[in-house]
Chains A and B, each alone.
Chain A
């Protein structure tokens, strides 16, 4: 019997994982339902747009500019091994737009926004503010969850677009400042090389990652345990789940766009 115990534990863990996936899926469908059915809370939506979008710009900008700059240096150094230094503009552009821009913005949003949403909603739950909402005839899913997820779906693709541009600009600064590239030629090569599908894939990824990040923050916040420990666990769990889901979704979406 002792030999079978690991299999029992594996079975229980699998069942728990499947149950969690089911709960998140139900939560996501409920959120979708609340996003399209009135009442709508304009003030909450506007605040979420401001918090997720505008206030994330500095962190997104700084992440993108340093990544673009480092990418240019890496490609120049790596390309030099087979006399391909000239491809820096093209590879920086494709690297930022297709992959690094959306993924890094997604992960920064997971760190900044998912954690903040989870901690805020979990604290509201612990201090009975969620119960108070219900007694005041306000559905917490409509008032707290739907505006945040909708705002993230709209604003994160825009952040990704900004991140892509700043990342390319970071590469341009390094390439023209210290690697001897011609500024105008660098930009022309970048623009000529990028295809519409690259940009579409970047924005679609941004939309998916934003939705996942906000959804995980709301889900963990709404299902938080009691006390400070409950809030801490909800925050930690939300960031872990959002980061893993963003990376997994990136793999699936990249595969889907490659097959086009």
Chain B
């Protein structure tokens, strides 16, 4: 279980997180929604330690994430980045097997390659993609490779940062389905940030709305349309009028 208690983060005078309280149950898929620049990525990166919160506590299974063995902590996570963040200098299979080629999870090269190809197949890519470089792939294929890399070491927790941004609706649908299937298959805990409502409905068990630095509403995805929260209502309907200020 991931628990965030009154997490705050500012960048200069920009108070991005003003006291976020959120609980993500083990094995559930939490999707955090909110407008651009509301701090969703900062929140996700705070859990991973890529951003250090100014105040508050983040715990994983009751242990403060800022203390203890960092490698062991990170070995429990997989992450799909918004732009896939593949390493240009490595081939696709080396990207997918990155964690399996070094560190505590190191495997023999042949075995790591086999696992990489199996994971590529799992995300719908053929084995001949394995020896290509990321720059030779389309955006959708890069996202799939990123997804394969995120699941390569069978992590307990997977983070997805805007998984469908920049993809056409059909490819976005494919990625959404893959994420849901993989999370169910692996029994992993998932945390996704997005403002794509199709993704939310496809991926989420639970939804949290981040606005003005705090969680405005959280609940089951089936309650999303009847939340009664004016912020959520405006966001999911995409109206310009409402409590969320729309800059024109």
Contacts and interface: CB of A to CB of B under 8 A. Distances in A.
Interface string A237-260: 000000000000000000000000
Interface residues of A, number: 14
A131 B48 CA distance: 10
Given A39-B102, A39-B103, A134 B74 contact: yes
Contacts of B215: none
B174 interface: no
Q: Which 4 A-B pairs have the closest CB atoms?
A: A132-B85, A128-B85, A137-B74, A135-B79
- The listed residue with most A CB atoms (<10 A of its CB), out of B74, B82, B83, B85, is B85
Interface in A70-122: none
A135 B77 contact: yes
Contact of B81 (A41, A47, A131): A131
Nearest to A135: B79
A29 to B, nearest CB: 20
A129 B104 contact: no
A138 B103 contact: yes
Contact of A131 (B50, B89, B104): B50
B150 to A, nearest CB: 9
B107 interface: no
A137 B50 contact: no
Given A129-B85, A137-B74, 5 more contacts: A128-B81, A131-B45, A134-B48, A135-B77, A137-B99
B98 interface: yes
A139 to B, nearest CB: 9
Contact of B48 (A124, A135, A138): A135
Contacts of A135: 48, 50, 74, 77-79
A136 B50 contact: no
Given A39-B102, A39-B103, A134 B50 contact: yes
A137 B71 contact: yes
A129 B79 CA distance: 12
A127 interface: yes
Q: Please classify how large the interface on chain B is, using the bins under 10, 10 to 19, 20 to 34, 35 or more.
A: 20 to 34
Interface in B40-56: 45, 48-50
Interface string B182-221: 0000000000000000000000000000000000000000
A41 B79 CA distance: 23
A129 B85 CA distance: 5
Nearest to A126: B83
Given A39-B102, A39-B103, A131-B50, A137 B85 contact: no
Contacts of B98: 136, 138
B75 interface: yes
A137 B75 contact: yes
- The listed residue with most A CB atoms (<10 A of its CB), out of B48, B78, B102, is B102
A132 B87 contact: yes
A112 B103 CA distance: 32
Interface string A126-159: 0111011011111000000000000000000000
Given A134-B50, A135-B74, A137-B71, A129 B87 contact: yes
Nearest to A128: B85
A75 to B, nearest CB: 45
A131 B47 CA distance: 13
Given A129-B87, A131-B45, A137 B81 contact: no
A131 B74 contact: no
Contacts of B81: 128, 131-132
20 contacts: A127-B85, A128-B82, A128-B83, A129-B87, A131-B45, A132-B79, A132-B81, A134-B49, A134-B74, A135-B48, A135-B77, A135-B78, A135-B79, A136-B74, A136-B98, A137-B74, A137-B103, A137-B104, A138-B102, A138-B103
Contacts of A131: 45, 50, 81, 85
Contacts of B104: 137
